[in-house]
Amino acid sequence: MKKILTALILCATLALTSTAAYGGNYQITSEPANEECPSMTAEGGRFYVAYISGSGIFVGEYDKGLELIKKYRVTGEVLLYSHPSLIYADNHFYVAYASKESEGESFNIFVKKFDKDFGLVESYRITDQAENQSHPSIAYSDNAFYVVYASDARGGDIFVRKYDENFTYLARYPISTKPSFQGHPSISYMGDSFYVTYTSDEGGNDDVFVKKYDKNFDFHNEKYQITDNEFSQQYPSITYSENTFYIAYASDEKGNYDIFVKEYLGDPEQFNLMSEHQLTTPESRESDPSAVFSDSLYVTYQSDEAGYENLFVWTFKKEAEDEITEVRIEDAPNITISNITAGEAPPPTSGLLNLNLIITASIIGTAIIIIAGMLLLKREL
């Protein structure tokens, strides 16, 4: 009978420790107007999403369950805004964005600095050029800010500007110099290197590429092609955590623009693909993903599934690598199973995709197995 009980406990053990991917899709805006171009960051157990709505840029503050706490307006009304980028650094929030201040002007890049309550501290103008400058992405490392952006000069190129902690200009670095069009850049920092992802039509259609640079933005011929097909890929966003890169982008390979994520091993000498995920389906059009890693991967994006653009967040937890260090059957029915660690699922959200039911069913099934084993043992005794 102990053999039977052993088998039952092992089954229960497997049920408790079988790896599970926890995920969910959360709608975070629902206004009957277009909310577009989201950028997400995490700070202090909360999420912050900058986005365009109407003639201004707003930031939504959300709890861990992605419920709205407060909404801030961070710009005034001007003619046009485009693609904000939000980070938290040096005890402040920073929003980089492109703006067309008045009729007849081109888009240029600006940065605003805010305190923790989104009170404006300072404003900075990054570019002042006749050609359009767009799609900024901002990063912070070693007391310096880096703003990457696309420029219409020479048909479409990408540049990075470096600033000290007071936003004093230090340097400008060209990222692309090809005659083809490059755009939609995103920047991430890992170790002693910067990674810039962008789109380029150098192969005949828009694909996603990544370039690696050292701290001085010297290029050592490390360029990686992320997509290679006959479809159009747009708006890549790169984030890094635990020796892993995540690149989210929009692609029309399924007939409509959908959101995809590719996961790469962050080996200093290689960029090896580990997995690929399609987050959305072709029933609606999704674009402008923004990826951030907090306790897990979060990807916010815009979707027209309600007839107008609203914002959604897709979450994903890696499969839990659970460990069991002790399983005793000798003392049955006083069975001890200790040191079982399991991943924590995201908070449930009514009406949204959630895997908590699966997890609950697994726990209930495990309990039934253990109880049945105990009853069998008692009967045998």
Question: Are 83 and 135 within 8 A, CB to CB?
Answer: yes
Q: Do 100 and 30 fall within a single domain?
A: yes
Q: Which pLDDT value is given to residue 373?
A: 52
Confidence of residue 101 (pLDDT cuts 50, 70, 90): confident
Q: Do 356 and 242 fall within a single domain?
A: no
Q: Do 283 and 159 fall within a single domain?
A: yes
| Domain containing residue 298 | 24-317
Q: Do 141 and 51 fall within a single domain?
A: yes
Q: Do 295 and 332 fall within a single domain?
A: no
pLDDT in tens, 337-349: 222 223 333 333 3
Q: Do 239 and 343 fall within a single domain?
A: no
Confidence of residue 3 (pLDDT cuts 50, 70, 90): very low
Q: Which pLDDT value is given to residue 307?
A: 82
Distance of CA 228 to the CA centre of its chain: 22
Q: Do 145 and 282 fall within a single domain?
A: yes
Q: What distance in Å separates the CA atoms of residue 86 and residue 96, rounded to the nearest whole number?
A: 7
Q: Which pLDDT value is given to residue 154?
A: 76
pLDDT at residue 155 greater than cutoff 70: yes
Residue with tokens 């408790």: 16
pLDDT in tens, 27-53: 999 888 899 999 999 999 999 999 999
Residue with the bigger pLDDT between 241 and 154: it is: 241
- End-to-end CA distance of the chain: give it in Å, rounded: 9
Name the DSSP class of 255. Answer: S
Q: Which pLDDT value is given to residue 366?
A: 47
pLDDT in tens, 67-80: 999 999 999 877 78
Confidence of residue 371 (pLDDT cuts 50, 70, 90): low
Residue with tokens 């479809």: 231
Express the helix, strand and coil content of the chain in percent, nearest 5 each.
Answer: 10, 50, 40
Q: Do 96 and 244 fall within a single domain?
A: yes
Distance of CA 189 to the CA centre of its chain: 14
Which residues contact residue 232 at a Cβ distance below 8 angstroms, ignoring those fewer than 6 apart? 205, 206, 251, 252
Q: Which pLDDT value is given to residue 188?
A: 94
Name the DSSP class of 354. Answer: B
The SS3 assignment for 362 reads helix
Q: Do 29 and 134 fall within a single domain?
A: yes
Q: How many CA atoms lie within 13 A of 19 on its CB side?
A: 6
Mean pLDDT confidence for 10-15: 39
Q: What distance in Å separates the CA atoms of residue 98 and residue 82, rounded to the nearest whole number?
A: 5
pLDDT in tens, 221-230: 889 999 999 9
Please say which residue of 300, 317, 334 terminates a domain.
317
pLDDT at residue 265 greater than cutoff 70: yes
Please say which residue of 317, 340, 372 terminates a domain.
317
Q: How many domains does the chain have?
A: 2
pLDDT at residue 162 greater than cutoff 60: yes
Q: Which pLDDT value is given to residue 376?
A: 46
* Amino acid identity, position 250: A
pLDDT at residue 203 greater than cutoff 70: yes
pLDDT at residue 358 greater than cutoff 70: no
Q: Do 260 and 338 fall within a single domain?
A: no
Residue 182: which CATH number?
2.120.10.80
Q: What distance in Å separates the CA atoms of residue 85 and residue 236, rounded to the nearest whole number?
A: 13
Q: Which pLDDT value is given to residue 364?
A: 47
Please say which residue of 317, 346, 366 terminates a domain.
317
Mean pLDDT confidence for 133-159: 94
The SS3 assignment for 359 reads helix
Q: What distance in Å separates the CA atoms of residue 332 and residue 10, rounded to the nearest whole number?
A: 14
Name the DSSP class of 357. Answer: H
Q: Do 148 and 11 fall within a single domain?
A: no
**Percent of the chain whose pLDDT exceeds 90:** 60
Q: Which pLDDT value is given to residue 131?
A: 92
Q: Which two tokens stand for residue 65?
A: 């369950």
Name the pTM for this structure: 0.78
Q: Do 206 and 65 fall within a single domain?
A: yes
Confidence of residue 141 (pLDDT cuts 50, 70, 90): very high
**Pick from 34, 49, 5, 94: nearest CA to 313:** 49
Question: Are 235 and 184 within 8 A, CB to CB?
Answer: yes
Q: At what angle do helices 2-17 and 356-380 cross, to 10 degrees?
A: 170
